[in-house]
Amino acid sequence: MILKNKWFRIWTAIALTLIPLSRILLAYHFPGDILGGYALGLAFLLLGAHFSNLFVKKSWQDKFNLKKPFLISFWGPFLLIAISPSRELPKLAGLLVGITTGYILEQDKIKAIPRTTYFFQILKTFLELAVLFAIIKGLGLFPTSNIIPFKALFRFIRYGLAGF
């Protein structure tokens, strides 16, 4: 919500303007889609800021158990998939479960310190992107069943691994 670096603020303003504009120019979205995205993004930003403030003011981080968000992020997507088994929902659900699982394991077991030289940060980024690409594209090459629940399950697993 508060960006202290002047150049990062400028870059953010440019990105928030040009990326949605490119989506309209490439005919991927309508202007209403972009405005709806802005509205949803702002709502989530304000909601996140509110809960973040509560988290700090009430010292919830001392009482917070990481297993609760994992349970919510794991069973919530399954409920959504059961209600509406669309093509994109298993991807989103798998990504959410993978990210949450990876975050919990990192916080609980690994406790990595990401600071290093710029060269190694760039090297790590390229390596991470290569692994991500290999997981999403590589596993996408495997033939899947024509049975829709199996296709959805495979998408869930593939994107769960990518999120992890």
CA–CA dist 102, 5 (Å, integer): 29
**In the chain, domain spans:** 1-64, 65-164
pLDDT digits (tens, 9 = 90+) for 100-155: 888 777 777 776 666 777 788 788 888 988 988 888 888 777 776 677 677 778 88
Q: Please, are residues 163 and 97 in contact by the beta-carbon 8 Å criterion?
A: yes
Answering whether pTM is above 0.75, one says no
Q: What is the pLDDT of residues 107-117, one digit of tens each?
A: 777 766 667 77
- Total Cβ atoms within 10 A of residue 93: 24
pLDDT digits (tens, 9 = 90+) for 7-43: 888 888 899 899 999 989 988 889 998 999 899 888 9
Pairwise CA distance, residues 3 & 34, whole Å: 23
